[in-house]
Structure 1
């Protein structure tokens, strides 16, 4: 499995995570019982499908190995395996968080190294 996974998060929720020292999830995560993540290959489709047109987002890179056995790889869209975290995300596992702006075409602009 990939060593780095990604969370797309509204900046307001991430500011709260910074304040309390952990990310407890977005409303969809709470509803599903786990925190949704994507691989680098899945992140663009996740952004287009679940965050279309949304601004004030962050792309958060997470060290998958730091999550231990709470991280499960489970089938989702089209049977692809997606990383799901059954628990809170400790900020110690976060490698970086960068803005995920909208481009002129209305799609989110991902960091160069993810292209």
Structure 2
């Protein structure tokens, strides 16, 4: 499978400040697991539904893959089993001592729920979600 151009981090709105700091606070899940959970564009709907069902607004951080690929491992969701880049069920995990901030983030997009569902159509129309 090909290497992605971008990978994405979903962040609850309360963890984002503007301008982005050098280091964002980590979620409890990222802190507990010892790495930062990321997703490809194709994985975002699944990640939104599974981990952000109770949120109403969040931010999607877009990271340029080639800038951080040396500290990315492709693994199952729990970070236990290595896998092939971009394979189904294999997610990018950032292992860099929790460093995620303005130096790693290429751009940010705010997204809100439309009723009970996350509306990604606006982002897709802008061609911002890319593999």
TM-score (norm 2): 0.75
1:99 and 2:89 correspond: no
The secondary structure found in structure 2 opposite 1:66 is helix
Measure, in 2, the Cα distance between the counterparts of 1:98 and 1:71: 22
Q: How does 1:58-69 map to 2 (within 5 A)?
A: 58-69=59-70
Segments of structure 1 that go 5 or more residues without pairing to the other structure are none
For 1:5 and 1:15, locate their aligned partners in 2 and report how far apart those are by CA, in whole Å.
Answer: 20
Higher helix share: 1
Of the three residues 9, 14, 17, the one matched with 2:16 is 14
Tell me how many residue pairs correspond in the alignment: 113
TM-score by length of 1: 0.84
Query: Any residues of structure 2 matched to 1:1-115 within 5 Å, and which?
Result: 1-15=3-17, 18=20, 20-76=21-77, 80-87=89-96, 88-104=99-115, 106-110=116-120, 111-112=123-124, 113=127, 114=129
Once the two structures are TM-superposed, the CA of residue 90 in structure 1 deviates from its matched residue by 4.0
Please give the per-residue CA displacement for 1:56-94, whole angstroms capped at 9, x wherever unaligned: 3111111111114211111238x6210000121242221
Provide the aligned C-alpha RMSD in A.
Answer: 2.4
Distance 1:67 1:17, change over 3 A: farther
Moved over 4 A (4+): none
Gaps of 5+ in 2: 79-87
